[in-house]
Structure 1
Amino acid sequence: MNRVAIIGMGYVGLTLAAAMARKGYEVHGVDTQPAVLESLARGKPHIFEPGVAEVFAEHIGKNIFIAPELPAGGVDAAIISVSTPVDEATHEPYLANLAAAAEHVAQRCAPDTLVVVRSTVPVGTSREVVLPPLVRAWGSARLVMAPERTIQGNALRELVELPQVVGGLDAESLKLGLRLFDRLSRQLVPVSTLETAELVKLTNNCHTDVIYSFGNEIAMLTERLGLDPLEVIRATNLDYPRPDIARPGYVGGGCLSKDPYIMLSGAGRSGHVPRLIGAARTLNEELPVHVAHRVVELMREHGGSTLTVLGWAYKGSPPTDDMRGTPIATMMPVFQAAGIRVLGHDPLVRDDVIRSYGGEPIELAAAFRDTDAVLVITDHPEYRGLDLATALAGSRVRLVYDSWRILCAAEITARGVRYAGLGFEPEVSA
């Protein structure tokens, strides 16, 4: 199990390719996008993830090879990591990429190839979508589901340190799957079926979404009660032996913004509707819109029509340039409807991406200078280290909405500037 192919060079496939190459596997990356192929062939990853660029620069052409199709000589294992997005209107998962990848594997590989599903899918998909083309072509197949469960910003470390769950079509498939990942992961967790492994991934991410939604629920309540959600949560958690309450915050990214819908889709076909999961996702999606309306209202109270938004990626810690599930996507229509001019900065997001969302790129040094209000969306380390005395000196800023509460409120209010955060809108001193 040394010669592997990874079909789909998105975030999941890219990071897995880097991690496996670093462990000595011969990795063949496959993708259909010419720009991705061209960039990776030069050893230049198209996605930011700490450590990946260095691995590609060192291993491309040695034990990392990039092509638009699987190698003619076959591979020991073909790992499918294509995207499985959900439809924006129906929230149903789009599985055509997965089906096409399975057909390609069936055409280019042999029955002794181990096929691994790594994409996030509704329960039952590996058996219902991936297996049939393999059996039609080969008569039988060796198939496992081995979900990816890393966090952006720490993927290369977690691919090694996190337990790798593996579920097989049969005992032989499971044995081969465990052998494949044995060199990569420190701990292997065999489970009894493909479906069990599929549900493990969905359970992880849906549980996370629910946990975050509870912190956001508390923030919605404290905003109306005039209380501080961080004080409530800090006192709730301190030396208390039950699970900690999460602090409020935006919940986005490529996984948490879609995996609950993938769970709901598969569960619906089984006759059960997971109400808690749906409610949590709804609350987390409504939060950015709620904040945008509050910012507009507060700006009307304090005057001005220019807003600087700090943080356009979906999160800032660990840092990423990923725009999937970003809060700004649903905030911008609110700002535009209110006639607010939006300036934007993000340490990793390109200027052309900021423009594509309707913002005007601005340097951080000028972010507080020519604006009436500042909205901090992410807790990026660069924002945590802001020199507020310099930033606010001579500024016309009248409002700072600090979503993650990473700035010094006292230093801001001492300059006569209104300070607010998620669920926290203290009264202005007379």
Structure 2
Amino acid sequence: MKINKISILGLGYIGLPLAVILADKSCKIYGFDKDQKVLENIKKLKIKIKEKDLLKKFKSQKVQKNFKASNKIIKSDVYILAVPTPFNKKVLKPDISAVKSAIYKIIHFLDAGNLIIIESTCPVGTTEIIKKIIYKKRNDLKKDSINISYCPERILPGNTLKELISNDRIIGGIDLKSSKHAEKVYKKFVKGSLNLTNSKTAEMCKLVENTYRDINIAYANELSIICEKLKIDVWNLIKLANLHPRVNILNPGPGVGGHCIAVDPWFLISRNPKISKLTLAARKVNDYKINWVINQIKRKIKEINLPKKNKNIKIGFFGATYKANSEDLRESPSLRIINYFLKKNEVKTYLVEPNIDRSKFKYLNLTNTKYLIKKSDIIVILVNHKEFKKLKLIKDKKVLDISGLLN
């Protein structure tokens, strides 16, 4: 199989770093994205994704020589799909329309021996659906002449370049031949182990990994709710419980965010609603934690005796992203909590968030730590960014520490 040209469809959180890595390995990379702003930024050597070493690597002479981005598909030997697959909560179904759209964009370019790799998170059976679409539309192609593999990413936002290279990978071909062909691509840059399986197992593996994490976080979040009612310090409790050699309870937070952990369990639930009981319960706990935090803040508000009538309660929030030391706001429970109080006329909010662009989020009333502490009646710590580690709060302020920063 030839791997002279590789097209990557979708130049977002996964597609762009992957394009940079492969271009750095001397592969001819053709990036496609329908978002003109994304393409313009790439042309201007600007990257809005905050990833360690990504911009530096992207600007290197080698990458610039081997990587071209446009809004047109270039005929290639390999096509990698890294497009979004959101979950539509209105109809309770995963939305794989972007994956299908990507296939229709490349379908007339396909030749026998080509390889399609799907990196987007998908419900089980998607790879087989893609296969049917291709051969129905291209009945001139011989059966099994196109190699199709599902190869889910496993990365931590903020450290994507390193993890794309060092993490073990699952390669799930529609058949063994497809798995072997995809393996050749990943051998070009992956230092971790490459584990070959079938497409359905690979699809399930991605969903299972993030569902496992969601369930474990749900236990920690539920524990924090119980401990608050019993007036027990949950942070101290978890520290003591984790002294057991076979116990490792996670830390609770304001809920669960990000495009993976908060979304992927729904892919399982939607296809198996009657038997995904534990998965559904965990999702409900983690979603409920957002409302619980809101109610805790409301309780703090009731405790305040304002000197003047009609004076606004001032709430200062530390952190809005879905996780610490990240600029990612996708599905962020912290942002949902902040937005709730932004809509309240009787409340004025302040926010310290060092990882997002102030010019893009003016409505959030971004400020600095000193000003927030001075102005706020209530201080809520939602995310324990490294910038907050030495935070010193004034004793007469009402403080709600949701992330355990002060512990």
The Cα of 1:18 is off from its aligned counterpart by 2.5
Q: Quote the Cα distance in structure 2 between the aligned partners of 1:194 and 1:90.
A: 26
Q: Bigger CA drift: 141-150 or 46-55?
A: 46-55
Q: Bigger CA drift: 153-162 or 335-344?
A: 335-344
Matched, 1:45 2:47: yes
Matched, 1:407 2:403: no
Q: Quote the Cα distance in structure 1 between the aligned partners of 2:379 and 2:21.
A: 39
Deviations 1:110-139 (A, max 9, x none): 232200011001000111145423553234
Give the letter aligned to residue 56 of structure 1: F
Match of 1:421 in 2: none
Deviations 1:259-306 (A, max 9, x none): 1111222334xxx53111111111111112211210121122034601
Q: Quote the Cα distance in structure 2 between the aligned partners of 1:333 and 1:371.
A: 17
Deviations 1:238-273 (A, max 9, x none): 1x23241111123211111111111222334xxx53
Matched, 1:65 2:68: yes
Matched, 1:259 2:264: yes
Match of 1:425 in 2: none
Matched, 1:182 2:184: no
Match of 2:236 in 1: 231
Q: Quote the Cα distance in structure 2 between the aligned partners of 1:369 and 1:121.
A: 47
Matched, 1:345 2:348: no
Q: Bigger CA drift: 89-98 or 111-120?
A: 89-98
Give the letter aligned to residue 400 of structure 1: V
Q: Quote the Cα distance in structure 1 between the aligned partners of 2:326 and 2:85.
A: 20
The 1:97/1:373 distance shift into structure 2, 3 A limit, reads: same
The 1:345/1:111 distance shift into structure 2, 3 A limit, reads: farther
Match of 1:112 in 2: 113
Q: Quote the Cα distance in structure 1 between the aligned partners of 2:25 and 2:388.
A: 35
Unaligned runs of 5+ in 1: 409-430
Counterpart contact for 1:166–1:188, Cα < 8 Å: no
Q: Quote the Cα distance in structure 1 between the aligned partners of 2:299 and 2:131.
A: 50
Counterpart contact for 2:352–2:369, Cα < 8 Å: yes
The 1:67/1:243 distance shift into structure 2, 3 A limit, reads: farther
CA RMSD of aligned residues (A): 2.0
Q: Quote the Cα distance in structure 1 between the aligned partners of 2:135 and 2:270.
A: 24
Counterpart contact for 1:293–1:334, Cα < 8 Å: no
Query: Mapping of 1:81-92 within 5 angstroms?
Result: 81-92=82-93
Q: Quote the Cα distance in structure 2 between the aligned partners of 1:367 and 1:333.
A: 17
The 1:296/1:338 distance shift into structure 2, 3 A limit, reads: farther
The 1:167/1:132 distance shift into structure 2, 3 A limit, reads: same
Match of 1:152 in 2: 157
Unaligned runs of 5+ in 2: 307-312
Give the letter aligned to residue 242 of structure 1: R
Q: Quote the Cα distance in structure 2 between the aligned partners of 1:352 and 1:293.
A: 30
Match of 2:334 in 1: 328
Q: Quote the Cα distance in structure 1 between the aligned partners of 2:56 and 2:46.
A: 9
Give the TM-score taking structure 1 as reference length.
0.86
Give the letter aligned to residue 311 of structure 1: G
The 1:370/1:337 distance shift into structure 2, 3 A limit, reads: closer
The Cα of 1:352 is off from its aligned counterpart by 4.4
Match of 1:417 in 2: none
The Cα of 1:351 is off from its aligned counterpart by 2.5
Q: How many residues align?
A: 392
The 1:354/1:299 distance shift into structure 2, 3 A limit, reads: farther
The 1:385/1:107 distance shift into structure 2, 3 A limit, reads: farther
Matched, 1:214 2:219: yes
Give the letter aligned to residue 13 of structure 1: G
Q: Quote the Cα distance in structure 1 between the aligned partners of 2:211 and 2:200.
A: 16
Give the letter aligned to residue 16 of structure 2: L
The Cα of 1:231 is off from its aligned counterpart by 1.6
Give the letter aligned to residue 401 of structure 2: D
Deviations 1:158-191 (A, max 9, x none): 1111111101111211110111101211233434
Matched, 1:291 2:293: yes
Match of 2:283 in 1: 281
Q: Quote the Cα distance in structure 2 between the aligned partners of 1:130 and 1:313.
A: 38
The 1:284/1:352 distance shift into structure 2, 3 A limit, reads: farther
Give the letter aligned to residue 316 of structure 2: T
2:14 aligns to what SS in structure 1?
helix
Q: Identical aligned pairs, as a percentage? A: 25
The Cα of 1:30 is off from its aligned counterpart by 0.9
The 1:333/1:366 distance shift into structure 2, 3 A limit, reads: closer
Match of 1:19 in 2: 21
The 1:265/1:129 distance shift into structure 2, 3 A limit, reads: farther
Give the TM-score taking structure 2 as reference length.
0.90
The 1:96/1:287 distance shift into structure 2, 3 A limit, reads: same
1:223 aligns to what SS in structure 2?
helix
Match of 1:167 in 2: 172
